[in-house]
């Protein structure tokens, strides 16, 4: 774990001491090196247990895919931001990459944490660099509103979590995940216990987000610059899912009764947010709502606490992270050229940007869960286990799949097909950097088709 954490911390001197000419090259190379070192986490020494050399930071089959995704994403974020940050003075560029690197450090410590309090502190700590990125480098005046919504929704959810964790510490004497997984199931039978149960989960449900408390997500995703959107969609939402999976261990047997409202909100949210996607005019807003829809499926899978549900949730989280980030990169390429996020403005792009049309095609096919990509595999596992939980869910999840296919195809056809308007034939051609960015997003998704064992988690 330190093999990756110390190079990530050393990224800060790299950022501040390299000469301006080499800044982006060195930071991208350094973070790519960290990403390749992080791949060694996949060598699990034990099939189900934790792999660690100390008691504070450890990896297990649940956190490893998310950790590798986090490490993989940093060079991609730096690649994506290169163009729009270029006009700014050097120290501000260094500050931007510093924020990305500090986000990376907090995320590695969050996913690798063995103490739940450390996870909580890192969970909160990731809010600060993200808030600064959204409010300082966003492009519209609405970014202030977006930052406020983002901060206060997450904080309002996580303050009860702090209280709940302290209560848990009081009653069990420890908050180490290594120990808690073997503890006796708690006696949870009063109203106070039910509130404690809800307090444990609300923070992660807001982060995921669950349908009723999802309002911060479209604002934050749309107003953030491309690196902010990428990290938000790919990793920060998964913090919520990961936290839920860790906490569910201790929350039985109340979960059988109390999870109903949240499962229902998640399932109904898939359909509602999917339908909203079909009426969006703003491209990033469409991708943001599609994120809510997919994470609703993940939330449903986690809340019913079955092995297939957990496996499907992790697979869908990883696949969705890569694909959503790819879609935001594509939306950013359109934004950098037209300076507008309106979908009908940048339409008919296939004729003028043919290779990019291929990336759009693959990313949208992945988004609508085309077999054999892992998006479908995760969705199928969650849908199957939900069907086992109650056969009526198939109506909701089936309709949700249909609507997902609908808006993904809508996004593709609107941006790529159709007559190219006259006024956009003069757009800048695509850079190699942007093509590289897209391949680095999409090739892992395709490769994961061949080895899903990396993502399954410990339930197999």
Partner 1 sequence: MATYKGAPLATQPKTLDPAEYFNLSPEYRRAEEKRAALRAQLKRQYLQQLNNPHRKELIEDPALTRWTYARTNNNYFRPTAKTSLIGGLFGVLPLFVLYVVFKTDRVS
272 lies in the binding site for partner 1 (CB under 8 A)? yes
Could you identify the residue written with the tokens 């907090």? 106
393 lies in the binding site for partner 1 (CB under 8 A)? yes
- The stretch among 69-77, 231-239, 305-313, 383-391 that binds partner 1 (CB under 8 A) is 383-391
What does the DSSP 8-state code read for residue 281?
-
CB of 407 to partner 1, least distance (A): 16
- The stretch among 54-62, 77-85, 336-344, 438-446 that binds partner 1 (CB under 8 A) is 336-344
- The stretch among 15-23, 104-112, 182-190, 333-341 that binds partner 1 (CB under 8 A) is 333-341
389 lies in the binding site for partner 1 (CB under 8 A)? yes
CB of 342 to partner 1, least distance (A): 5
Instruction: Select from 345, 357, 358, 459 the one that contacts partner 1 (CB under 8 A).
Output: 345
What lies within 8 Å, CB to CB, of 346 at 6+ separation is 283, 334, 337, 338, 340, 415, 424
* DSSP secondary structure of 142-195: THHHHHHHHHHHHHHHHHHHHHHHHHHHHHHS--BHHHHTTSPPP---SHHHHH
Rounded alpha-carbon distances, angstroms, from residue 361 to 148, 187, 370, 442: 35, 52, 11, 11
154 lies in the binding site for partner 1 (CB under 8 A)? no
Q: Count interface residues toward partner 1 (CB under 8 A).
A: 29
Describe the crossing of helices 116-125 and 90-112 by its angle, rounded to 10 degrees: 160
Q: With respect to partner 1, which residue has the nearer C-beta, 58 or 146?
A: 146
- Where residue 305 falls (left for φ over 0; alpha for ψ -120 to 50; beta otherwise) is left
Question: CA 226, CA 333: separation in Å to the nearest integer?
Answer: 9
Q: Check if the beta carbon of residue 373 is closer than 8 Å to that of residue 445.
A: yes
CB of 433 to partner 1, least distance (A): 19
424 lies in the binding site for partner 1 (CB under 8 A)? yes
419 lies in the binding site for partner 1 (CB under 8 A)? no
265 lies in the binding site for partner 1 (CB under 8 A)? yes
- The stretch among 91-99, 170-178, 348-356, 386-394 that binds partner 1 (CB under 8 A) is 386-394
User: What are the residues binding partner 1 (CB under 8 A)?
Assistant: 260-261, 263-265, 267-268, 272, 281-282, 285, 338-340, 342, 344-345, 389-393, 396, 422-424, 426-428
């Amino acid at each position: 774990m330190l093999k990756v954490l110390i190079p990530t911390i050393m990224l800060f001197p790299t950022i501040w001491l390299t000469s301006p000419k080499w800044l982006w090259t060195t930071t991208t190379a350094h973070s790519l090196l960290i990403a390749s070192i992080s791949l060694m986490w996949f060598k699990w020494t034990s099939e189900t247990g934790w792999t660690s050399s100390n008691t504070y930071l450890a990896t297990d089959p649940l956190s490893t895919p998310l950790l590798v995704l986090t490490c993989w994403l940093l060079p991609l974020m730096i690649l994506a931001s290169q163009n729009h940050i270029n006009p700014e003075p050097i120290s501000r560029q260094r500050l931007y990459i510093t924020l990305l690197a500090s986000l990376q450090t907090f995320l590695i410590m969050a996913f690798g944490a063995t103490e739940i309090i450390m996870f909580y502190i890192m969970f909160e700590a990731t809010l600060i660099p993200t808030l600064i990125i959204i409010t300082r480098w966003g492009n519209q005046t609405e970014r202030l509103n977006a930052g406020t919504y983002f901060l206060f929704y997450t904080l309002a959810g996580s303050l009860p979590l702090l209280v709940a964790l302290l209560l848990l510490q009081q009653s069990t004497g420890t908050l180490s995940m290594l120990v808690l997984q073997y503890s006796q199931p708690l006696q949870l039978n009063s109203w106070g216990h039910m509130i404690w149960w809800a307090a444990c989960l609300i923070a992660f449900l807001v982060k995921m987000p669950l349908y009723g408390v999802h309002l911060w997500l479209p604002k934050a995703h749309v107003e953030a610059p491309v690196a902010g959107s990428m990290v938000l969609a790919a990793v920060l939402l998964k913090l919520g899912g990961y936290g839920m999976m860790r906490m569910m261990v201790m929350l039985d047997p109340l979960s059988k009764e109390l999870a109903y409202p949240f499962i229902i909100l998640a399932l109904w949210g898939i359909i509602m947010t999917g339908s909203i996607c079909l009426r969006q005019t703003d491209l990033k807003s469409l991708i943001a709502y599609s994120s809510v829809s997919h994470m609703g499926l993940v939330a449903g899978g986690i809340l019913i606490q079955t092995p297939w549900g957990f496996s499907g949730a992790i697979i869908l989280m990883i696949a969705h992270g890569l694909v959503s980030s790819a879609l935001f990169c594509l939306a950013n390429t359109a934004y950098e050229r037209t300076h507008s996020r309106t979908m009908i403005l940048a339409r008919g792009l296939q004729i003028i940007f043919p290779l990019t049309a291929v990336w759009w095609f693959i990313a949208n096919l992945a988004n609508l869960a085309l077999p054999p990509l892992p998006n479908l595999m995760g969705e199928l596992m969650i849908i199957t286990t939900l069907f086992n939980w109650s056969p009526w869910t198939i109506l909701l999840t089936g309709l949700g799949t249909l609507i997902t296919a609908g808006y993904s195809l809508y996004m593709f056809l609107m941006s790529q097909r159709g007559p190219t308007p006259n006024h956009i034939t003069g757009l800048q051609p695509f850079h190699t950097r942007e093509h590289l960015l897209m391949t680095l997003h999409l090739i892992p998704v395709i490769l994961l088709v061949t080895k899903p064992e990396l993502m399954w988690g410990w339930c197999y």
